[in-house]
Amino acid sequence: MKKQMRVKFLNLLVVCLVLSQAEAAEKVIKLPLPKYKSDTSVEEAIFKRRSIRRYKEETLGFQEVSQLLWAAGGKTIDGVTGATRAYPSAGGIYPLEIYLVVGNVKGISPGVYHYSWHDHTLSLKKEGDLRQELTAASLNQRMVLEAPVSLVFAAVYSRTTLRYGRRGELRYVPMDVGGAGQNVHLQAESLGLGTVIIGAFSDRAVKEVLELKDEEPLYIMPVGRPR
C-alpha cells in the first residue's frame, strides 16, 4: 500500500513538473530575426529624426517590435570581450536591462516583458495592459497611454561601478543609455514609426509597475505610428 502511494506521489510530482515547464515555455516568446539592411540610410534617419509624442490607434507588428528591441540592445557580433550588443558600453559591461510594456501588438498579449538579448526572446513578467499604470507613473504623459508599446531601459549600476566606482554610475551608464536611446530613435524612423525619450517619471512608481528590484529605471520610450 505504501509503495503504491509512493508511486502515485512520484507520478503526480512528474506531472506537476511537466506542467510547470510547459507553462514557463508558453511565457517565453521567440522573436523573429532582425533585419540588418533597409531602404533608409543612416544619414536619412538622422536627418528625419524627431521626438514624436502623438500616435495613431494602430497595432504594431511582431517584426517591428523585434527590430526595435534588437536596435535597443540586441546581439550584433562577437567582439574581443565577448558578444557585442547594438549600443556601445563602457568596458563592454552592458549594465542595461530592457523591458517592453505591451498594449497593442499583433501576436503578443498585453503585459510587461523582459527582453533577453542573448537569444532574442521576450519573457512575460506581468500580464495585462498596464499602459494606464505606466502613464500615471510617468506623471500622466499621455503619449505612454497612446503608444501601442513602450520600451523601458533600466540599469544595474553595480555591474559598472564594480569596475569604475562612482564614475560608472555618474558618467558611463548615462553614456550607455544615451546610445541605446538614439538607436531606438533611428530604428523607429527607418520603420516609419515615432518615439520620444521620457525621463520625467516617478522612479518608485515605475519600479512598482515593472516589479523591478535591483534595477533603476532610466528611460521610457513609447513607440507608435505618428499621428
We report the CATH number of the domain holding residue 85 as: 3.40.109.10
- Write the burial class of residue 49 (CB in 10 Å: 0-12 exposed, 13-18 middle, 19+ buried): middle
Q: What is the pTM of this model?
A: 0.86
116 shares a domain with 184: yes
pLDDT for the residue numbered 4: 55
85 shares a domain with 16: no
61 shares a domain with 124: yes
91 shares a domain with 16: no
Asked whether the beta carbons of 205 and 141 are under 8 A apart, the reply is: no
pLDDT for the residue numbered 84: 87
77 shares a domain with 2: no
19 shares a domain with 104: no
192 shares a domain with 141: yes
Asked whether the beta carbons of 180 and 195 are under 8 A apart, the reply is: no
Residue 211: other Cβ atoms inside 10 A: 10
151 shares a domain with 178: yes
Q: Number of structural domains, the chain?
A: 2
Question: Rounded CA gap, 158 and 153, in Å?
Answer: 16
pLDDT for the residue numbered 3: 53
State in Å, rounded, how far the first CA of the chain is from the last one: 71
pLDDT for the residue numbered 138: 98
165 shares a domain with 210: yes
The boundaries of the domain holding residue 14 are 1-28
pLDDT for the residue numbered 80: 55
3 shares a domain with 109: no
80 shares a domain with 16: no
pLDDT for the residue numbered 119: 95
Distances (CA, A) of 171 to 8, 89, 91, 205: 59, 11, 13, 24
pLDDT for the residue numbered 9: 44
pLDDT for the residue numbered 177: 98
Nearest to 217 by CA among 97, 118, 115, 110: 97
**What is the full per-residue pLDDT of the chain (227 aa) written as tens digits?**
555 545 444 444 433 333 333 344 458 999 999 999 999 999 999 999 999 999 999 999 999 999 999 999 999 976 555 668 999 999 999 999 999 999 999 999 999 999 999 999 999 999 999 999 999 999 999 999 999 999 999 999 999 999 999 999 999 999 999 999 999 999 999 999 999 999 999 999 999 999 999 999 999 999 999 99
Nearest to 97 by CA among 122, 73, 65: 73
